[in-house]
Structure 1
Amino acid sequence: MAQVDDYDYEALPENSSLAASLMAGAFAGVAEHAVMYPVDSIKTRMQILQPTPQAVYSGVINAASRISTTEGAKTLWRGINSVIMGAGPAHALYFATYEFAKESFGGNASGHHLVAAAAAGACATTAHDALMNPFDVIKQRMQVHGSVYRSVMDCASKVYRAEGLRAFYISYPTTLTMTIPFQSIQFATYEYLRKVLNPAGNYDPMTHIMAGGVAGAVAAATTTPLDVAKTLLQTRGESKDLRIRNCNGLFEAWRLIYQRQGLAGFAKGLQPRVLSHMPSTAICWSVYEYGKFLLTRENLDKQPIMT
């Protein structure tokens, strides 16, 4: 009788449907963004270059308390519909691209392949961000203090009428400049830690949580200066400052941040960014790995028993 306990779940079954494979990534993306969304809202507000006096916070707890008491706790969730609408398909594309690229680059072979994992992560985030960028712009426009948008569609239509299609992609080059190193660091760190903590490669939820959390924290801290610039570009249309409204790219954004706030400006939002990405990345990898595990088990259960 064939043994069904020994199998490699890391590679999805060859006869798994594309829809089933993408579904694992889609669920992972929605779970990652939705759970830590309030902390992401705080991060966005703390990164605004010229906030209103009512939106100046000393830390994450101070921000959460003041927003909840003065604007209502629901404010911390404003714009989440945009994330849910975009995160599912974007993360499905993200993980499908990653799995294909990692296999193509030899990342599934035994041993550590940090370059292959990093390169696969870069390919994955390029595809992901092309789809997700407009949703991220809408999300951040709805997160800022005093946002007047009633819904995702209301925000999308008003931004389009006022600033054109370019507003949804003005930050895309900066986003890629941030997310390619972010995802390369994250994937390389995750794959390294996963193999160190679990050399046998068996499904182990604790391994995915620990490796994912550390990978997310390291990548988030390293790329915070790029994230500050991205936030400036994506929310520039809400500012009354002409220099901010006319800011057109990464280096111009960095120059403006440095002139206004010095080197400290590049670390704005560091604490909530790390606090957000550490658990959200752990959740994302855990959900995704569990989805792969279930797909593999389902595939094995359908195979005939050899005698």
Structure 2
Amino acid sequence: MNIDDYESLPTTSVGINMTAGAIAGVLEHVVMYPLDSVKTRMQSLTSASNMNIMSTFQNMITREGLLRPIRGASAVVVGAGPAHSLYFGAYEMTKEMLTKFTSLNHLNYVISGAVATLIHDAISNPTEVIKQRMQMYNSPYSSVITCMRDVYRKEGFKAFYRSYSTQLVMNIPYQTIHFTTYEFIQNKLNLDRRYNPPVHMVAGGAAGACAAAITTPLDVVKTLLNTQETGLTKGMIEACRKIYHMAGPMGFFKGMTARVLYSMPATAICWSTYEFFKFYLCGLDRDQYKSSITGRSELQEPRKTAYVLPKSTTDEDPSLATESLAVDTAAGTLKDPAVLHPTPPTVNAAGAIKTVCELSTRTAAPTINLHTRHTEVKSPYERGFSST
């Protein structure tokens, strides 16, 4: 590993990434849970869903009590911790590993996001079912345990994973858009991956808003499969048919505004919390901290430096100073070659032939072409070496 590869490595460990991810996931879902309840209600196919965000929220409080918008939050607290812990841990590990096999940063983000989603959704899908059943209008469930027991008794264990395939179809593009957008903004505003709260919040909010808007139709399908409010719906195709039959083409965009307004601050909170605890737990100064693999190779131009060594001066007095210059092509300055390449005291300066080598500061530097020829060089014994 060369020095550029070493300096590009993050300064955090897997344990720190997983701990920070668990805290970020719980905080994100708890803070934004009331708006998530409103989004679920607005995606419902019942007549109660024909209201805007504020009307839906007010209707929940006036008819069902002040605490109604946060019913089912305990299920999210239990599921979000381990789900987001493995989610961020898998993403960071996969992203770092793939840098050894590909230099295409966007492909790296897509694959890493897909791997993280597979693990996250396998853990979070049962909690999504419980949460959304408790969020629906006229829900008969008052506690997480009661809901879980009733669903298992009536529909079996497969009910907790009925929407898993749909959730993957939705979340894989969601997370690839999410991570790619976040990393893109990071590469523009925070290339060195330092701890920068404003950039983390802006990048996280923009990533969540873009991903949420594009994947709203699949979220509506997932909500129907989780809630089963129109009778038993077995799969994604059947759910699409019911949505189209009952609400038309626009039914697939129900609750999109609420979903974007939920995802934008939620992802901003999640990323800023995640980056804060990564920085805090690693115990390093801000100048020494590097949060993750950077996109340096994609955004920076390679820098080349040409070094010109002393040229032949056979017709001149050897005692005279060598008249040559070292040119730094990147900085555009002239430097004294005696500082860079001083002439050894035992070698005749008149016998040195001009040598040029081009070096690159890129991570994968080209082979150095170095051709030298020395004349009138004395034998080792004549230069003072012992004959023994």
Q: Could you say if the C-alpha distance between residues 100 and 161 of structure 1 is closer, same or farther in structure 2, counting changes exceeding 3 Å?
A: same
Rounded to whole Å, the distance in 2 between the matches of 1:162 and 1:210 is: 45
TM-score, length basis structure 2: 0.69
Instruction: Give the match's secondary structure for 2:67.
Output: helix
Q: Distance in 2 between matches of 1:293 and 1:247?
A: 45
One-letter identity of the residue aligned with 2:278: K
User: Contact between 1:106 and 1:116, CA under 8 Å: does it hold in 2?
Assistant: yes
Give per-residue Cα distances to partners, 1:144-173, cap 9 Å, x unaligned.
011121211110001100110011000000
Distance 1:264 1:192 in 2: 31
Return the offset for 1:112.
Answer: 7.3
Match of 2:270 in 1: 284
Instruction: Confirm whether residue 261 of structure 1 aligns to residue 279 of structure 2.
Output: no
Q: Deviations over 1:122-144 (max 9, x none)?
A: 10011000011001100000000
1:92 to 2:85 alignment:
yes
Q: Which residue of 2 aligns with 1:303?
A: none
For residue 107 of structure 2, give the secondary structure of its aligned residue in structure 1. helix
1:54-69 pair list within 5 angstroms: 55-69=48-62
The whole-number CA distance in structure 2 between the counterparts of 1:204 and 1:138 is: 36
User: Which has a greater percent of helix?
Assistant: 1
Using the alignment, how far apart are the partners of 1:224 and 1:84 within structure 2?
24
- Which has a greater percent of strand? 2
Closer/same/farther in 2, CA of residues 195 and 76 from structure 1, 3 Å limit:
same
8 Å Cα contact 1:107-1:117 kept in structure 2 = no
Q: How far apart are 1:192 and its partner, in Å? A: 0.3
Per-residue CA deviations over 1:22-74 (Å, capped at 9, x if unaligned) read: 1101001001111111111011111112x2x4x33421011111211221221
In the alignment, the residues of structure 1 paired with residue 101 and residue 8 of structure 2 have an alpha-carbon distance, to the nearest angstrom, of 11
Is residue 201 from structure 1 mapped to residue 186 from structure 2 by the alignment?
Answer: no
Q: How many Å separate the matches in 2 of 1:61 and 1:9?
A: 47
Tell me the amino acid that sits aligned with residue 99 of structure 1: E
Q: Secondary structure at 2:248's aligned position in 1?
A: helix
Aligned to 1:148: 140
Closer/same/farther in 2, CA of residues 94 and 169 from structure 1, 3 Å limit? same
| Percent identity of equivalent pairs | 48
1:44 to 37, 40, 43: 40
In structure 2, distance between residues paired with 1:10 and 1:71: 52
Could you tell me how far 1:226 is from its partner in structure 2?
0.2
Number of corresponding residues: 281
RMSD over aligned Cα atoms: 2.2
Do the aligned residues in 1 keep the contact of 2:43 with 2:49 (CA within 8 Å)? no
Distance 2:200 2:133 in 1: 33
The letter of the residue matching 1:123 is V
Of residues 207, 226, 229, the one that matches 1:234 is 226
CA distance in 2, matches of 1:246, 1:29: 31
The corresponding residue for 1:25 is: 21
State the partner residue of 2:10. Answer: 11
Give the aligned residue type for 2:54: I
Question: Per-residue deviation at 1:245?
Answer: 2.3
The structure-2 alpha-carbon separation of the partners of 1:153 and 1:186, relative to structure 1 and needing over 3 Å to count, comes to same
1:218 and 2:210 aligned: yes
Q: Measured at CA, do residues 108 and 36 of structure 1 come closer, stay the same or move farther in structure 2, by a change above 3 Å?
A: farther
Structure 1 residues without counterparts, runs of 5 or longer: 1-6, 301-307
Partner of 2:232: 246
* Structure-1-length-normalised TM-score: 0.86
